[in-house]
Structure 1
Amino acid sequence: MNPLAPAALAHACFMPTYAGARAHFLAAAAAAGAPTDILVHEQARGPDGSTLSTDVAVLGPRDAERALLVVSGTHGPEGFTGSAAQIALLYRLAVQPPPAGLRIVLVHAINPWGFAHLSRTTENNVDLNRNFIDWEAPPPDNPLYPSLHAALTAQEWSPEALDAAEARLQAWIRVQGHATFVDVLARGQYTHPHGVHYGGAGREWSNRTLETLLQRHLAGVRRIGLIDWHTGLGERGQPFFLCFNEPGDAGWERACRWWGRDRIETRAGFDGSARPRYQGLLFQGVQRYAPAAEVTGAVIEFGTLASAETRRALQADSYLKTHPGLPQDQARALRALLLEAFSPPDPDWKRSVLGHALRIQEQAIQGVEAWPA
């Protein structure tokens, strides 16, 4: 069954800009009676010079032992979908408060620079979802990435140059295999600052901000259910779950009860290949910054385009960073490519993902409520 949200609700929840999404999130939080905590990004500004922030809405008792944590905007333009899901949840909570004893913490735009500038990365071209490694140790190695780098990034944006890069990529895949390609591409790399899925050279502002907000709002919680909203993987308009609890452990089994074993244990989303060995995930950051809590949850994606088209959008994101002086028309076209890959304007897509998101959030609330304290 495909639960479509009402068209009017989708229109009310999906905003076309970071500023609009932020304003609607704060208004929905006020209507739900949720206090907000605004963490201003002092080192970055929006495209028009405006202030950027990560905003947190909180409902439920401070001494709660169980909480649901919902995050949007880890990857910039994917934040439009996460924001819509959070706004819709706040609308629901305005008329039906959360269960007694349950705390709900909604983190809006954890990567506000990427959200505002329509880039999957932070202001430092860092993939935030690869930045939560242990920075006291050397960064993880990805030894095959350098041989892929030139094929994944474009030095010239022309049909000929892009076709040549794709030919190099396909030649690499023929030698190394598709499963190796998926793993090398997705797991993250720490050697090429202008490359794809670059994990950074230290903790990003958003990384430190996550630690701050967890200390402020979830310090006493012992059971955390986590949803980190994303787009780009899976069947178009349908949810694709990436649970990062260990397969078979208590958290994994709990996620299966909340959302269905078929969703948690699927191998869809990677063109039949095994799940990459991801490094530095926000999920792992929550585990690190809330060490006294048990965390169960998932990155939840919504499919958009075929993987090759999504990969081209990643090239566009990189090209925009390395060529800041592009003509306005070309820059606008590349950003439109990014939005089509990570926040499609299609109204039916929005209705589908919002319908699923409402159900998934409700399942998580019920699951966390039933989680023994």
Structure 2
Amino acid sequence: MNDLILDATEKHFSSNYFEARQKFRHYACQAALGEVRVYPSPAYGPDGEELSTDVVWFGDRRASKVGVLISATHGVEGYCGSAAQLDWLTERGYEGLNSDEAMLLIHAINPYGFAWDRRVTQEGCDLNRNFVDFMAPLPQNDGYDVLADSLVPSALDGPVFTAAEATIETYRATQGEIAYRTARTSGQYRHPTGMFFGGFGPTVAREILERIVSDYDIASRQLVLIVDYHTGLGPYGYGELQCEQTSGMTGYQRARDIFGHSVTSPELGTSSALVLNGTQDDYWQRLLDDRHVYVCLEFGTYPPESARPVLRADHWLYAYGRAQIESDFGRDIRRRVKQHYYPDRADWKEMVLYRSRQVHRQMMEGMRLQNVSRTCPRSNTAFA
């Protein structure tokens, strides 16, 4: 068993976005007889390459129960999610679908971030903070406003950098660690070159996800289970199943009924993540309410504090050092971001696939355990 899963890690993890996309298209075409849909991105890769989100559907096109596997919401974190999707394909998970069940695989929903080894979209947005209602007043983050020039200072060394670090440490000492983490990570909507920026409007990646959901008529289904792969929080290699605050305790209970007691919630204080604004689950909750279960499958990498200088350098590069993006210095920053969110080590990759296989099995079992009627509303959407 160990040798088999180690062989799978060698096959399914990729060295870059383009390799991952080629593998996904290859395996998906083999499994689904070529029925892969391509959603082109207006962004380009580091060498001017075309980018895309690629999608494949398995099962009854009118199934009332649908599972959704999403990779690369946070771009560079796509190495993990892509490998898990490839593993589901090559393990022939689709053969376990019953007649009223289907699976939708969405590969690289943020292809720009994946190709450039960044967490953000081409607009500089954190996609998992971008699903707010932009017609309503945007969430305020006074703490980030205080720290904005320190979290992404105009210099990475010297007096400016030293003063920035002093401001951050003073804030942490006076306001507390939870207040600091909330200010830094919960989402902000005023500083477009800053960290965890939720945007001034919907990103291209959000619009593509909404188009995919419309094209496959997801809103008409009676049960939709979503697994959104992420990396960077929690113990090294452990896959935490996180609920978001948007779905509340009823959403948490629905997730726990399917995935067990390892599911965590920021409302209970059991999650390694805090309450966030504009998460993808905001979208699913508005679309489906209690007909959905969303979990973020978050694999830990390295301590959170080691992410701060990595993200700071990345945001500095695109805010103040754009002329250096293609220099050795700029490429080294990209390498460091990739290294933090994708530990290219056999032990980490083995842990990812073990946990992913468990979650995939629970997902499939969860669909058939739910007593869902076939009399759900249907639209006239035509599938390509």
Q: How does 1:35-114 map to 2 (within 5 A)?
A: 35-41=35-41, 43-93=42-92, 96-114=95-113
Q: State which drifts further: 16-25 or 240-249.
A: 240-249
1:4 and 1:247, CA in 2 relative to 1: closer, same or farther beyond 3 A?
farther
1:295 and 1:223, CA in 2 relative to 1: closer, same or farther beyond 3 A?
same
Aligned to 2:318: 321
Aligned to 1:280: 278
CA-CA distance at 1:27 after TM superposition: 0.9
1:341 aligned to 2:340?
A: yes
CA distance in 2, matches of 1:162, 1:56: 43
Q: Indicate which of 269, 292, 296 corresponds to 1:295.
A: 292
CA-CA distance at 1:101 after TM superposition: 1.4
Secondary structure at the residue paired with 2:52?
strand
1:160 and 1:77, CA in 2 relative to 1: closer, same or farther beyond 3 A?
farther
Is the 8 Å Cα contact of residues 243 and 263 (structure 2) preserved in structure 1? no
CA distance in 2, matches of 1:4, 1:283: 36
CA distance in 1, matches of 2:153, 2:344: 26
CA-CA distance at 1:58 after TM superposition: 0.5
Structure 1 counterpart of 2:316, one-letter code: Y
Aligned to 2:375: none
Deviations 1:321-352 (A, max 9, x none): 12112262211221121012111111211111
Is the 8 Å Cα contact of residues 264 and 271 (structure 2) preserved in structure 1? no
Aligned to 1:119: 118
Q: How does 1:1-373 map to 2 (within 5 A)?
A: 6-33=5-32, 35-41=35-41, 43-93=42-92, 96-158=95-157, 162=161, 164-217=163-216, 218-244=218-244, 246-249=247-250, 251-265=251-265, 267=269, 270=272, 275-288=273-286, 290-291=287-288, 294-322=291-319, 323-326=321-324, 328-373=327-372
Cα root mean square deviation, aligned: 2.2
Secondary structure at the residue paired with 1:175?
helix
Is the 8 Å Cα contact of residues 31 and 94 (structure 1) preserved in structure 2? no
Secondary structure at the residue paired with 1:305?
coil
1:4 and 1:286, CA in 2 relative to 1: closer, same or farther beyond 3 A?
farther
1:216 and 1:329, CA in 2 relative to 1: closer, same or farther beyond 3 A?
same
Is the 8 Å Cα contact of residues 32 and 94 (structure 1) preserved in structure 2? no
CA-CA distance at 1:368 after TM superposition: 1.9
CA-CA distance at 1:311 after TM superposition: 1.6
1:264 and 1:131, CA in 2 relative to 1: closer, same or farther beyond 3 A?
same
CA-CA distance at 1:263 after TM superposition: 3.2
Is the 8 Å Cα contact of residues 148 and 194 (structure 2) preserved in structure 1? yes
Q: Structure 1: where are the runs of 5+ without partners?
A: none
CA distance in 1, matches of 2:339, 2:3: 20
1:292 and 1:221, CA in 2 relative to 1: closer, same or farther beyond 3 A?
farther
Deviations 1:179-225 (A, max 9, x none): 11121222100000111100111111111111110011124312110
Percentage of identical aligned residues: 30
CA distance in 2, matches of 1:329, 1:48: 15
1:195 and 1:95, CA in 2 relative to 1: closer, same or farther beyond 3 A?
closer
Is the 8 Å Cα contact of residues 316 and 337 (structure 1) preserved in structure 2? no
CA-CA distance at 1:246 after TM superposition: 3.7
Is the 8 Å Cα contact of residues 45 and 112 (structure 2) preserved in structure 1? yes
Instruction: Output the TM-score relative to the length of structure 1.
Output: 0.92
Instruction: Output the TM-score relative to the length of structure 2.
Output: 0.89
CA-CA distance at 1:162 after TM superposition: 4.9
Structure 1 counterpart of 2:176, one-letter code: G
1:82 and 1:302, CA in 2 relative to 1: closer, same or farther beyond 3 A?
same
1:140 and 1:5, CA in 2 relative to 1: closer, same or farther beyond 3 A?
farther
1:124 and 1:247, CA in 2 relative to 1: closer, same or farther beyond 3 A?
closer
